Structure 1
Amino acid sequence: MRAVQDEGTPAPGHPAALLLRHLAARRSPSGLALDLALAGLLLAVGLLAARWPVRVDPVEVLLAGAASLAVRRVLPSAALALGWLTVLWQVTSHAPPSLVQVASAAVVYSAAAWGGRAELVVAAVSASLGGLAGGLYLVQTRFASITLRYGEPAVGARDDTALLVIVVPAAILTACWTAGFAVRTIRARLAETAQRALAEGRAAEAQEQAGVEQARTAMARDVHDVVGHSLAVIIAQADSVRFLDDADRVRDVVGTIAATARSSLLEVRDVLERTEPVPSRDGADLDALVAQVRSAGVEVQERTEGEPGALDADPGLAARRVLQEMLANALRHGRPGGVVEVQRLWRDADLVLEVGNAVGPGGTGGSGAGLPGMRDRVEAVGGSLGTDRIGERFVARVRIPRTAAP
């Protein structure tokens, strides 16, 4: 199952999708519905309070406070501006605290939680300086009413109460701003986690695709080597039939062609189904490849030096496939009727394979598409490939370590 969709968005079941849905709560229908409900509640309570024997805010101020609640998520800056307008109206009209202060606290929280950087700073200033200014205003209005009703209070009691009244509004607004900032910080961490999850998902998908492409390339290279070698042998054998007069010999060649085709088919099937490479044991697989070429009527001069031994799985498979391709190139691009020279040098740490053949005028000398594939294969196991052409003779030489690279 793919963790990330093609367009770069997380799949529905991916953890990043859950985080991003949480981050979208700012403009979610449920959040907007809640704000509209709070705004309607504030407006309804304010209008109902007009029937009581207390001083209430005008309808315009109630509407401004309700509007600030309604847009506090989607437009924090507008909500802050409306909040300040209601406060300025209270100060200029010498109105007592009312329900719109509840809206102001909610707006400060929302600006800290959902607003931009500028709105965050404005909310912090509103919470601190605006809170202190509101406290001073409360002290003035409160003690004026106390003096008119009860007379002058004691000096110490007045100072203590005034300090408390000044600090409390700023403390409440600062607490609201701090709560909003905490939500903002948590949301930022969730966003970072979501982006990290998306990046990891994309990296895992890219790695998976790279592995699939690598496996596909390796399979195509194997099929190319197997089919190319077998077809080269079959073509050489089929061409020789024209020059045979002995019926028994013709039957032998045709039988060899059929056996080579069947062997190629089985090997291609093995390539498509195999999950682990099979190690080459004492060079027996390499002997069989040389025997196939020789059975096609091609003269092969073979020389082996050193003590043959087993190769690890990956180097053994590389040795077989590379020798297949070198022999196929010798048959395809070599001079008809020419000699193919095969040398194997078994050393303690590696195996050196060398195939040489004569090429006619205009021949490619084996420099076709197979060489890049051979080079990639031997380099993948820590080996190397070299080619030389001297006059009309082309030589391909590979070095393959006996053990797989760690």
Structure 2
Amino acid sequence: MPRRADLVLAFVAGVPLFALSVVVAVLSVPGVRAGLLVGACLVAHAAVAYRRDTWAFFVVAAAFGVQVAVTGLFLVLPSAALFPLAVYSRAAYGRRYPPLIVGLAGAGVAAARFATDSSVAAADLGPNPWLLFGLLAAVVVAAWGFGLYRRTQLAYIDLLRERARDAAARATAAERARIAREMHDVVAHALAVIVAQARGGRFAPARAQEILATIEDTGRTALTDMRAAVGVLRAAPEEAQRQPLPGLADLPGLLERTRSAGLPVAEIVRGTARPLGPGTELVAYRVVQEALTNTLKHAGPGAGGTVLLEWAEDGLHLTVSDDGRSTSVAGTGNGLAGMRERVGAVGGAVEVRTGEAGGFVVEARLPYRT
């Protein structure tokens, strides 16, 4: 099917040009030859609707070949303007050099036919063949050049579209990774607290009500966080940006839930707080959450933890450590990998190691907002 723009072009250009060509053909070349000229013009105008296809170019060239065979006066037909258009279209949408070769050959044949036509000679209208050839060749080369320029434009547009698709794919992958990290942090910490509480409940039946209340509160908080994370996927971009995100102000609640799970955690703050920005505060919160989750999983019974927030000159130095029995760094998990990605995304650095006396240590440096 021809494109709508090409159909419009074929109609808008075809109606006046074809009508004038019919009049000129009938007046200049009466008889059967006039009918052949009109038929060839009609075929060429119809092919313009498919000008982006290879066959349409050769149909137009063949139609003008028929006109050359009929008379050299075909050059005075207004429909002769279709040939440069065909050269332009083929250079823009097809192979580069065939339209130029065919166009220059057609210019030579047309110049020779016009200059040697008996009707032209009888009317003493015959120009210098070389001058006519130069003029026709210039028209062909100009049409071919404009076609190449359009070809370059189309290639550039395709490149921009491809880059846009790649950027959209990368953004989608990054968003999926971000949501995966959020879900992991929320679920992993909540389950670690619930498992620790359930384990403790087996040995302390008298605290069953308190333990169940803590499990319920932890599960409700995790469910709320999960709904918020999933809601970002469903919300419009401007609504997603307004979704509440945990930050440093939410650390006391996180530490309290961790203590209720049986892990004593001390919080130490040094220096004067400075603005980090909501994104960096979220990273700080998730670093503490992931580190405490690992402590709950691996530190063992009787362990304690410390969260140190040191407001230094170059940024917030965040250290989460425990005195548990862990002697190796579980550095291959998804949680720690996500932690490194989060910290790196805000321009910070993180180190995960074992303490000198054992235990698990996470040190992160987060830059201030500038």
Q: TM-score, normalised by structure 1?
A: 0.64
Q: In the TM superposition, what whole-angstrom CA distance separates every residue of 1:24-63 from its partner, at most 9, and x where no partner exists?
A: x99x9x99xx99xx99x989x97x737xxxxx89xxxx79
Secondary structure (helix, strand or coil) at the match of 2:58 reads coil
Distance change in 2, residues 1:18/1:343 (3 Å): farther
1:366-405 alignment, distance < 5 Å: 367-389=332-354, 390=356, 392-403=358-369
Specify the structure having the higher radius of gyration (Cα).
Answer: 1
Residue in 1 aligned with 2:71?
99
Distance 1:192 1:18, change over 3 A: farther
Q: 1:316 aligns with which of 281, 289, 305?
A: 281
Q: Quote the residue 1:341 is aligned against.
A: 306
The residue that corresponds to 2:250 in the other structure is 285
Whichever residue aligns with residue 315 of structure 2, its letter is: D
In the aligned structure 1, how far is the partner of 2:158 from the partner of 2:85?
28
**1:217 paired residue number:** 177
After superposition, the Cα gap between the structure-2 partners of 1:305 and 1:120, relative to the gap in structure 1 and judged at 3 Å, is closer
1:326 corresponds, among 287, 291, 306, to 291
* TM-score with structure 2 setting the length: 0.69
The aligned runs of 1:5-84 (5 Å cut-off) are 22=6, 49=31, 73-74=57-58
Amino acid corresponding to residue 117 of structure 1 in structure 2: Y
Cα distance, 1:260 vs. partner?
Answer: 1.5
Q: How far 1:399 moved relative to its partner?
A: 1.1
Deviation at 1:354, TM superposition (A): 1.4
Is structure 2 residue 127 aligned with structure 1 residue 166? yes
- Matched position secondary structure for 2:295: helix
The answer on 1:264 being equivalent to 2:222 is yes
The answer to whether the Cα contact below 8 Å between 1:359 and 1:394 also exists between their aligned partners in 2 is: yes
Could you tell me how far apart the structure 2 residues matched to 1:292 and 1:125 are? 86
Three-state SS of the structure 1 residue aligned to 2:57 is: coil
Is the contact between residue 329 and residue 360 of structure 2 (CA under 8 Å) also seen in structure 1? no
- The AA in structure 2 aligned to 1:329 is N
Give deviations 1:228-269, integer Å, cap 9, x for gaps: 112111211111112215x3x332222122111112222222
Going from structure 1 to structure 2, the CA distance change for 1:141 and 1:181 (only over 3 Å counts) comes to closer
Contact 2:197 2:215 in 1 (8 A): yes
Distance 2:285 2:200 in 1: 26
3-state SS of paired residue (2:222): helix
Q: 1:137 to 1:229 in 2, by over 3 A?
A: closer
The code of the aligned residue for 2:182 comes to D
Identity within the alignment, % = 27
1:120-135 matched pairs, under 5 angstroms? 120-121=100-101, 123-124=103-104, 127=107, 131=111, 135=115
- The change in CA–CA distance for 1:230 and 1:257 in structure 2 (over 3 A counts) is same
What is the CA deviation profile of residues 189-247 of structure 1, one whole-angstrom value per residue up to 9, with x for unaligned ones? 444333333332332233233223222221221121122112111211111112215x3
The structure that is helix-richer by fraction is 2
- Closer/same/farther in 2, CA of residues 301 and 119 from structure 1, 3 Å limit: closer
Alignment-mate amino acid for residue 74 of structure 1: F
Do the aligned residues in 2 keep the contact of 1:222 with 1:271 (CA within 8 Å)? yes
* 1:92 aligned partner: none
Q: CA deviation at 1:363?
A: 6.1
Residues 72 and 394 (structure 1), Cα distance of their counterparts in 2 relative to 1, 3 Å cut: closer
Any idea what SS the aligned residue of 1:341 has?
strand
The 8 Å contact of residues 306 and 345 in structure 1, kept in 2 or not, is answered as yes
Partner of 1:199: 159
Counterpart contact for 2:298–2:326, Cα < 8 Å: no
Deviates more, 1:120-129 or 1:232-241: 120-129
- Mapped partners of 2:310, 2:257: distance in 1: 20
The answer to whether the Cα contact below 8 Å between 2:300 and 2:325 also exists between their aligned partners in 1 is: yes
Q: Is the 8 A contact 1:333 1:363 kept in 2?
A: no
**Would the alpha carbon gap of residues 204 and 265 (structure 1) be closer, same or farther in structure 2, given more than 3 Å must change?**
same
How many residue pairs match? The answer is: 334
Q: Rate the CA distance shift 1:286–1:349 in 2: closer, same or farther, 3 A.
A: farther
**Matched letter for residue 73 of structure 1:** F
For the structure 1 residues 125 and 367, does the alpha-carbon distance in structure 2 shift closer, same or farther, using more than 3 Å as the test? closer
d(CA) in 1 for partners of 2:89 and 2:253?
74
Aligned partners of 2:120, 2:334: CA distance in 1, in Å? Answer: 94
Q: Deviations over 1:279-321 (max 9, x none)?
A: 777x432222222111222233443322345532111111111
Moved more, 252-261 or 191-200: 191-200
Deviation at 1:80, TM superposition (A): 8.1
Change (3 A) 1:234 1:122: closer
Q: Are residues 114 and 385 of structure 1, via their aligned partners in 2, closer, same or farther at CA, if it must alter by over 3 Å?
A: closer
The one-letter code sitting in structure 2 at the alignment partner of 1:193 is: Q
Which residue is equivalent to 2:271? 306
